């Protein structure tokens, strides 16, 4: 198990009615925390406009090296880098698939210089197990 605590830098939307979740872990230079917060807040709007219910981005707060695996190894963290964790809540997978296509074509998402190394980003789609 890989576990850690993260501090929110951007939380947009309500998340009510979530039926599908995208999870993201990425490497972030410690010096780029503020730039990442600004970036996360700027890209939340296109996600919400294209069907997402909630967009959350965080930075490591209580994340420690593990004995066998951990967030640092998962992202191949380099010196002065820390993990960032985020998620996007969607009403269902078809909305998510259509949303991602629209988001990638959205002009606001073009030319944004992300303050992280996207080559080491981990992204996956998940079906919620518990629906409260």
Over the stretch 98-128, which tens digit does the pLDDT of each residue have?
Answer: 999 999 999 888 866 788 888 999 999 999 8
Q: What is the pLDDT of residue 25?
A: 96
Segment-wise mean pLDDT, segments of 10 residues, the chain, 132 residues = 79 84 95 93 94 94 92 94 95 96 90 83 90 60
The residue ranges of every structural domain in the chain are: 5-126
**Fold topology of 5-126:** Alpha-Beta Plaits (3.30.70)
CA–CA distance, 119 with 122 (Å, rounded to integer): 9
Q: Is 38 exposed, middle or buried (0-12, 13-18, 19+ CB in 10 A)?
A: middle
Structure tokens, 14: 């309500």
pTM of the model: 0.89
């Amino acid at each position: 198990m890989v576990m850690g605590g993260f501090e929110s830098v951007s939380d947009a939307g309500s998340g009510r009615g979530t039926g599908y979740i995208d999870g993201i872990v990425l490497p972030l230079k410690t010096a780029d925390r503020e730039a990442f917060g600004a970036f996360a807040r700027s890209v939340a709007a296109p996600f919400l406009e294209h069907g997402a219910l909630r967009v959350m981005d965080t930075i490591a707060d209580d994340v420690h090296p593990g004995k066998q695996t951990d967030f640092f190894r998962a992202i191949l963290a380099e010196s002065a880098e820390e993990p960032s964790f985020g998620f996007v809540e969607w009403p269902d997978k078809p909305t998510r698939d259509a949303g991602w296509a629209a988001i990638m074509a959205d002009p606001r998402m073009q030319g944004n210089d992300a303050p992280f190394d996207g080559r080491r980003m981990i992204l996956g789609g998940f079906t919620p197990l518990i629906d409260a």
